Structures are given as C-alpha cells and as structure tokens.
Amino acid sequence: MAIQWFPGHMHLTKKAIAERIKDIDVVIEVLDARLPGSSSNPLLAELTGHKPTLKVLNKQDVADPARTPLWVDWYNAQSETRAVPLDASDPAPARKLIDACHLLAPSRGGMAKPMRVLICGVPNVGKSTLINTLSNKRQAKTGDEAGITKIEQRITLADDFYLWDTPGMLWPRIIVPESGYNLAASGAVGRNAYDEELVALELLRRLQTHYAPLLEARYKLGLPADAIAALQDDELLEAIGRKRGAMMGGGRVNLQKAAEIVLTDFRTAILGRITLETPQEFEAWRTAGLAQDAQRQAKKDARAKAKGKGSGRRDAPEAGE
C-alpha cells in the first residue's frame, strides 16, 4: 500500500515557500530524529535550491542515542548543511540555533542586514514547539495531529533576526514505501490517508529486528528477544492485543485497537528510545525507490508511445522518498 498525503493547504504552502525563498538567508528544516531521512522533504530541497540549511533533529531525547550521531555526521557531510540534535522544549540548546544560522550566513546580522530564516518541516515534527521555545512566547499553535499550522507567519526573535514559520508540508508523491510507513507511524500523515493496522504491522517488523527487548519490556509477552523477532508481525500484533485487553466477543483480538495501542506507544515514546532507520538503510530504500519509479515511468512512456501519444514528455520529477 502506497501512503500519500498532499492536501490542498500543502499546495498553498509550496507556493508560499517558492515565493518567500527569494529573500531568505538560511533554511531551518526540522526533522524527526526517530526518522531523520524519511522526514526530510525532497520537495523542500528543490524549492530552496542551494540556500544554507540547518537540519534540526528534533525529539532526539526519544530517539536512539546510538543512531542520532550517525545522522548528524551524515547531514554534516553534505554541502552548505549543518545538523543539530535537539529537544525543542529545552530552551538552552534551542537558543543555539540562532548562532548556528549566523555560522551558515556570516554576512548577515545587524539592522542593515537582518538575518532572514525560513523554518519548515513535515507535519507533527515539533516545529511549533521549537518556535515557541525560541521566542519565549506561545506564537505557534501546537498539537499531536498532523496539519495544525495552516498559514505562514513572521516571528521576530531579535531586532535583526526574522523567522518565517510555514505549515507542515509533505510532498506530492512518496516513492519510497518505507518512508511512507515511517511518516505515518510518527503521526506526520493525516489519519484518513493510511490503514492503521498495516502501519502498525510495518512498525512492528522494524521493532522486531532492532528493538525486540523494548517490546518485551513494554508488553510483557514472556518471550526472549529472539523469539519475539521470529514471530510473524500479525502474530505479534495479536499477542500485544491479548496482553493489553484489546478483545472482542468470542475471544478474538481487536486488531484495530491493538494497532492503535502500538502506534500510540511509539508516538509517545512509551516504548523507549527508538530510531526507525540508519543512513545506510535509508539510502538503500531511496535507491530502490528511485529505480522502481524509473521503471514505472519507462512503462508509462512505452504505453503512451504505443498509443501514438509519445511526445517525449515526462512527468515532472517528484524527487520523493
């Protein structure tokens, strides 16, 4: 199942970013430290071009501490890019973002050349919480539902530092299935755009491989880690449902309710500190996704040519994950 979500207000956000970027010095992209590759928006990279970018790995306090440094190094190796792990609600490191922006654009500062920063991110990544922390005011609405912020707003952090907040935005076509599932598991995708049971099963597959002890610690299944890893994902979901009392008549497990339990436990970090992907895994997923998309396009072109409609025109590249 391909997970896609690009509602109308995201089209408007895309247009707003394309217009605003002309006057921007630094782009802050807020990522989810639990899925730092999947939550990085390829459409944003297209819109912002070669503007210096600060990648904020937010929610690092609930991400795997062994994996976050791998992602920081991976992003720092990219041109015109710096990466900072952060818990958006902690005011001390959040303030360091202002200094990081000045390092990326050292020629900006002072009333004559105020720093102009655009802050972006996928929905529900903690961007609004970060803005409120930076400004010491409740200027951005927060919530645990994707798509809370709907309009662009300018926020003055200092006399010479302007921050433009934009609504959370995904991209029109997610071509890497793993990224779609990870985004849905994190709450970045609208609830009407995916099947919670399927997303929970995909999440459990990843947790079985890398975090089986955390599953046992949370759900008390009475199984060693290797036995949990060996279960089929639907068997594991059913076992969790039984342990947590997600039952229906006749002794059957309510798999929908069990899925909601698993997703909530992940999103609220009750399961523990988890990162769903490494840079190497993400690059492998992305390479496979691009190859499959190229095959899809080649078949589409061939069909069009066979129908006498081949004009050499290709779909506009989505560059999606």
Residue with tokens 């809370």: 148
CA 8 to chain centre: 19
The model's pLDDT over 4-49, given as tens digits with 9 standing for 90+, comes to 999 988 999 999 899 999 999 999 999 999 999 999 999 998 999 8
Structural domains in the chain? 10-165 (3.40.50.300), 195-267 (1.10.1580.10)
**Residue 253 backbone phi and psi in degrees, to 5:** -85, 135
Cβ-based neighbours of 142, under 8 Å, separated by 6 or more:
128, 129, 132, 148
Q: In this structure, are strands 26-32 and 81-85 parallel, antiparallel, or unpaired? A: unpaired
- 236/204 Cα distance (integer angstroms): 8
31 membership: H or E segment, kind and range: strand 26-32
Residue with tokens 């937010």: 58
227 membership: H or E segment, kind and range: helix 225-230
State the pTM of this model: 0.88
SS3 164: strand
The model's pLDDT over 121-163, given as tens digits with 9 standing for 90+, comes to 999 999 888 888 887 765 555 444 444 444 568 888 888 899 9
